[in-house]
Amino acid sequence: MSTIREIAERTKLSVGTVSIVLNGRGDEMRISKKTQQRILEAAQGLGYLPNLSARRLRQSNARNIPSIVIFWPSDLSSDLLGRFFVGAQSSILEQEFEFEMTIQPYKRKHIQKIKDICDQGAYHGAILTGISAEDQCYLEEHPLNVPTVLFNRTSSIYSCIYVDAYEIGRKVAELFMLRGHKKVGAIVSDYLMKADNNFRFRGFVESCAKYGLELEDRHIQVAPTTMEGGNIAASKIVKSGRELPTAMFFPLGIMAVAALPVFHRAGIRIPDDMEILTYGDHDIEKYSVPSLSTVKLPVEEMAAACIRLVMGRILDATGEPKSIVYETPFIFRESCGGFRHEI
């Protein structure tokens, strides 16, 4: 990125004149239109990007509002982002805090970009979502220099908001056992299977073995984190032949919605022939036919808590990191019933 000095050298004008024009005060300071145009063209040719944060702070009427960046991985569900935003904005709408919020996409295992952005000093605080175990190790060895909160991760270094992922998988397997199922299956998103911290699916697999549930390899399908992926994976389950599972777990709810037409066309009645349980509780799961039972991830509440934690650290830098764990209740709808007896 070019500097004001480089633009001044190219136009053979003073740094002060260039700075005035680039800050939008050319007319006020009676700089000719021709000179202004010359400066703007040179700036564009050199790829100059103005420092908007610095410009705002120089304005006499500017308010000192904290700026928070939300780092969001490119392969995480966009529906989840919508729910996160609804929760995060509640602090503004309820006049609890006033702040600016930026959504910054990133690719997993490109954690250096996150550190570089934070080290530039453009933001007062950061919320990290969906980071891999490898990325988290790096950030704990090389801490960010701004107040930081991890979403749905645990950490001894940073404040964090999370749910017990292993317990989610365990209690799904336990529910299937209590419902009388013997043969079960799962359709899992590929990014979850690749993650070292995929405790949700691990809890399900290990607990199936513990409770005597049969989980064959052919009844575990891994697919892209999309509705199309869920649809294709369901087709593979149906085409696998022989005896099908009587219960299916979808660690990502939108994939279950896309699987429903496949099961319907194959004559598999939900829940009579096969019960389905998801994780997430997106609106689409509530209004599908049949509606989908789920383990609720309270995204909105967790997002609001992330904002409170990061704002707390911004306003009081001496505070210690905090951890908050949220409950994940069952929400029973048409696709799967409740416990047949108390646990």
pLDDT at 328 over 60: yes
pLDDT at 342 over 60: no
In this structure, what token pair is assigned to residue 159? Answer: 């404040």
Q: Which residues have CB under 8 Å from 288's CB, separation 6+?
A: 256, 257, 260
Q: Render pLDDT for 66-96 as a digit per residue (tens, 0 to 9).
A: 889 999 998 777 778 889 999 998 877 877 7
C-alpha pair distances (Å), 123 with each of 99, 117, 161: 11, 8, 20
C-alpha pair distances (Å), 105 with each of 117, 220, 287: 12, 30, 29
With beta carbons less than 8 A apart as the criterion, state whether 310 and 148 touch.
yes
The C-alpha atoms of residue 310 and residue 127 are separated, in whole angstroms, by 8
Q: Render pLDDT for 110-124 as a digit per residue (tens, 0 to 9).
A: 888 888 888 777 788
Q: Render pLDDT for 235-289 as a digit per residue (tens, 0 to 9).
A: 999 998 778 999 999 988 889 999 999 999 999 999 999 999 999 998 899 999 9
- What's the pTM value of the predicted model, to 2 decimals? 0.78
- The secondary structure of residue 277, as a DSSP letter, is E
Q: Return the higher-pLDDT residue of 194 and 253.
A: 253
Q: Looking at residue 64, what is its pLDDT?
A: 62
